Each structure stands twice: as C-alpha cells, then as structure tokens.
C-alpha cells in the first residue's frame, strides 16, 4: 500500500536537549519509526525488513515543548531489494516543515540475507511524488559517489546478530 503514513507526537520536556528544543536523537527515532511503518504497510511483514541507512536528516525549524508535530512518511524509491522512504515532521499548528529524512530498508529472506521484493513504483505514483523520488534516487546512488556500492549490493547483518 503506497499511502502516506502519519504519526503524531507531543513534544514533552523529557524530549528536549540542552537548548530547550527537541533532541535530534528523539526526532530521528520518531522519523525512522514512521518510515518503518510505511515499509511494513507496503510489505506486510516487519520481520522481513531491516533499516540499513539513514541518508540525511535536516532540521529547518526548532521544535519546542508543547508543540504537536505530524510526521508524514511516504515510499520514495524502490530498488531491487531496497525501499527508501522520505519523511517530514511538520508543526501541527502551522503545517510548516521542520525536519526531513531519507531512510533505506532492505528486504530479507528467512536466513537474513537480502532478497528481491519484486515491486516497482507505478509511473503515476512517481509523477505525483517526483521530488522525493528524485531525492531518494540520488541518495541511493551514493550522492554522486560512483565508488559507493548501491544499497542493494551492500551486505547486511540480520537483526539481533550485531
């Protein structure tokens, strides 16, 4: 299912850093969780998925205690074995984008080895989501670093074995 996943969070005092704004580690966890949920909704089997890379996380606006944020995640790119998801956190009161991230997951077989998922994005979906598709395509390609193997070619460690 290629629908947008939306999670909401209230920023509480326990979520803050030493500047009194949302701690980046907390934000990363929330964003990656939303990305994971998007992949689970697409594949239906969380045990067949592992996160292999966080490509980019950019803070554009500080987030303060008491704010409610909406985290929206959407599949942005499909490789042969990989699924890259774009997520953004928006301030609930204004809708202003505060943080963005790209995260790649790989599908695994029963022995924990990467396996092909057999899916592709429909042309109309790519057209409607062209901006995030292009961002993800570039990120997976190694940000113009030809020496970097594609995400599909990297070895992975099965969950719980690291």
Residue 105 is assigned to a structural domain of this protein = yes
Res 158 pLDDT > 90: no
- pLDDT at residue 93 in the model: 86
Of the listed ranges 11-20, 44-53, 147-156, the least confidently predicted one is 147-156
Residue 152 is assigned to a structural domain of this protein = no
Residue 88 is assigned to a structural domain of this protein = yes
Work out how many domains the chain is built from and give that number. 1
Q: Cα separation of 31 and 71, whole Å?
A: 7
- pLDDT at residue 66 in the model: 97
Distance of CA 43 to the CA centre of its chain: 15
Residue 128 is assigned to a structural domain of this protein = yes
Residue 149 is assigned to a structural domain of this protein = no
- pLDDT at residue 143 in the model: 42
pLDDT tens-digit map of 40-91: 999 998 999 999 999 989 999 999 999 999 999 999 999 999 999 999 999 9
pTM: 0.85
Residue 76 is assigned to a structural domain of this protein = yes
Tokens standing for residue 55: 């490509």
Q: Cα separation of 87 and 73, whole Å?
A: 4
pLDDT tens-digit map of 76-132: 999 999 999 999 999 988 999 999 999 999 999 999 999 999 999 999 999 999 999
Instruction: Report the CATH number at residue 134.
Output: 3.10.129.10
The answer to whether 67 touches 114, Cβ cutoff 8 Å, is no
What is the DSSP code string of 96-136? -EEEEEEEEEEEB-TTS-B--------HHHHHHTHHHHHHH
Residue 159 is assigned to a structural domain of this protein = no
| Residue-range definition of the domain harbouring residue 44 | 5-141
- pLDDT at residue 150 in the model: 45
Residue 157 is assigned to a structural domain of this protein = no
The answer to whether 106 touches 151, Cβ cutoff 8 Å, is yes
């Amino acid at each position: 299912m290629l629908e947008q996943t939306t999670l909401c969070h209230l920023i509480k005092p326990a979520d803050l850093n030493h500047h009194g704004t949302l701690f980046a580690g907390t934000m990363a966890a929330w964003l990656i969780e939303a990305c994971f949920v998007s992949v689970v909704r697409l594949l239906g089997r969380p045990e067949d998925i592992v996160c292999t890379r966080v490509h980019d996380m950019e803070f554009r606006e500080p987030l303060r205690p008491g704010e409610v944020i909406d985290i929206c995640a959407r599949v942005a790119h499909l490789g042969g074995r990989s699924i890259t998801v774009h997520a953004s956190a928006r301030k609930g009161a204004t809708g202003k984008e505060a943080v963005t991230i790209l995260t790649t997951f790989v599908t695994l077989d029963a022995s924990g080895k990467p396996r092909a998922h057999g899916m592709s994005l429909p042309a109309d979906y790519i057209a409607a989501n062209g901006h995030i598709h292009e961002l993800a395509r570039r990120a997976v390609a190694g940000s113009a670093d030809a020496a970097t193997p594609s995400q599909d070619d990297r070895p992975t460690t099965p969950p719980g074995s690291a």
